[in-house]
Structure 1
Amino acid sequence: MKRKTFIQLSATLMATPLVSPFNSLASQPRLKNWAGNLTFSTGNVFYPKTVEEVQALVKKHSKIKVLGTRHCFNNIADSTDNLLSTKELNKVISISADQKTVTVEGGIKYGELAPYLHQKGYALHNLASLPHISVAGSITTATHGSGIKNGNLASAVTGLEIVIADGSIVQLSKDTDREKFNAAVVGLGALGVITKVTLQIQPTYMVRQNIFVGLPMEQLRIHFEKILSAGYSVSLFTDWQSNNINEVWIKSRVGVDSDKVLPEFYGAKAATKNVHPIIALDAKNCTEQMGVPGPWHERLPHFKMGFTPSSGKELQSEYFIPLHHALQAIHAIHRLGKQIGPHLFITEIRTIAADNLWMSPCHNQTSVTIHFTWKQQTAAVLKLLPIIEQELAPFNARPHWGKIFTIEPKTLESRYEKLAGFKKLVAEYDPNGKFRNGFLNHNIYG
């Protein structure tokens, strides 16, 4: 697949969900992803409400792909044939107080699950910037969240139920199926339909969020790990247009992290009001700041569930770099500031702990991520990405699977030591490529 066709564009408006999943291909409008930069290649979308309906659909069709909440920016979930949406598979199945786990259907959103858990006295260890994303979609793309000691969302998984290509059900447990489990959790949509997920939970907790503005880059260079370890979860926002980090977001666990809030943080000044990561935008869509304590699920994300997150009409790219290369990588990107600036809304820098999941960008490495929220200027962004990726190449950067990148398949292969084992499991579960699509053909089998 050529880079220029890596994502698809359309000027049409977002289509509404289909009333019936069995209408003919020609009669159905095509869905778009959340940001509107991708139009899916078929209007043939199915909305099963039970696992049995999933099994029947998978058995019936020779080619099919699974849709979550359509928050990916590339064609990882696209199909030219059939799409299966998990939006109706959105229930909490059970909580085990003894095992400290919750089992849910794969299509449930974190913004739906989290308040339920909090009401029951429980919490997850981490949440991503947006609560709008589904559990299955998030874990299969290794979507992450933040915290130097916090693994990504997939690291909370202890069990999976997957409908594989022949329509049968495979159940995998972290305790009893270690190798297959580690291969399957970040499955890139290649293994089948994730119908149930079991997640580790813990007692609920409170978090407060404090923002500091104007952190000197020199202070970041000298005190990098102290700054990124200053709270339970820390994010840095910059537009690369000065020698300062624009904003530092520190999310601290009440009663665990220090309760002392200083007027300065390594030269950055405490914000005097709620702010948006993109400073020019209104902060009304953002989670509460100014040190006001609140439940974990109302502070760990940057954006509230009921509002449009981030900018909306945007593109996103993100690269995972081993933590020990973080400062070199940040410096390399800072040198590109003049080229990046005209096309960028904001960059977020954060950390994620290492995990054992084979296709996770954090496999065997605690990572720093450099995340780009781009203006929807596709041609310009696709010209910039190879330049950025070349700068990050010495650090073996791994891209976020659900965002836009142009790294060649051979390079990806060299950065995932377990890729051959992953493809072996895919061949076992999907021998005829029922769940294969252009993204997998190019990036995994290219």
Structure 2
Amino acid sequence: MRGIARRFVVTGTQLALAGFLTGLTGLLLFVPLAEHAPAVTAAYGTSLMAMSVVTVLGAGATVMVVQRLAGARPGRGDVRANGEPDPATRELHDLCALVLLGTAVLLPLLVLVGVAVHLTDGTGLGAVAYWSRAPGMFFMPLNAMISGLLVLEGRQRVQLRIAVENLLLIGAAAVLLTRLETSPVGVLLTVGFLGVLVDGFTFLRLRYRLGRGVGVRFGAVLRGGRAVLRRGIRPHLRRLPVLASGTTDALVMMGSFMVVVLIANRDGAATAAITAVLVNMVRTFVVPLKQFGIVGGRLAVAAGDPDGTDRRLRLFAGCVTVLLAPVGLLLLVFPGVVGRWAGGAVAHVDAETAIRLVGLQLLLEGVAGFGSSALKIVVSPAASLPHLTGVMFGFAVPTVALLSLTGRLSLVSLWAVMLTARLIFAGCVLWVHHTWRTRSGGAPVPTG
């Protein structure tokens, strides 16, 4: 079992590292904001959370490309010699049309979220942070589609390399910003524009790297997608929800986090600032666990029998818990470490208690985060989705909203609710696992 555990950790880390570094890149920009008032940190954290929701929607394009074109080899050009594209290329053009349409639909979605940010932010800084960052979101769907094509070519390291480059660029910019004296509006505009530039630069590098491969050419795919849309937009409008189907669980998590941050904005800048920092910290560690879940689920199913699958699931959940334990214990025992990084953003009397609650939550993620993703492979794609939706939007969000409306919301009560929600969800994951083990022999669902 030691060999399979090593394989799980190495493969999962390789796939999850790009996502983790991307989240870490966003966290780095909290550093130059630490010298400003908590309202500035709250504004940036809110915009970062809003962008995460859009990024998750765009990431559905990666899942869709990999699922629909797995095993196929789209051609490099527009058409074959007889004037018609091969079936795989035709499918890719159809997917590109859907992605282009989804990019166009982003505008009203961004406006809707922007209105929500404006209504819950009394300082006006939230709107500055949000709208200075929003233009970069139009690159996300196409970036996600290209990432899917790179995965099909077995070139996932391109994404990791770009994530490392982005981390270094933003790290250097964060250091420079800490040395400059800027107004709150100025620093938020600078941070937003930096994000847009990095998004655009990422698109150019992804397109360049795809062009150097032996597979499809982006220009040909784009022309094919546009040609499909010219033949009719309405059928594709009805299929737009397909873009989010592969990332529905992450969308539920990010959406609920976003609502919680917006509610916290109404309860004062200090509470909003530390909540924004901690929510984005949790996101950075939890979202990449989906990749571990996919790898672990496939390796578990490969055991060939329910007992072997179960043993591997337990082993892999233990591995993830061990990986996250140092971070969770660090926050639990030494919560002041966050203050050294985020500075004045966590200058709140209850900050250390809230940070400790986040540390406890990270210790649950071997079950809640990894387990739920792995069961999507072992049991069914929506195995724990109803439970996650019910816990977050049936318990966590309404409870936080009720506490806010009654004037009883505090930093400790907010994060106690979030920890309780995660405990409940972890229990739901264990129940789904138990149900699978006890049903008709506990045979896992075959996966392709």
> Where on the TM-score scale, by shorter chain, does this alignment land: which range?
under 0.3
Higher-Rg structure is 2
Where relative contact order (Cα < 8 A, 6+ residues apart) is larger, the structure is 2
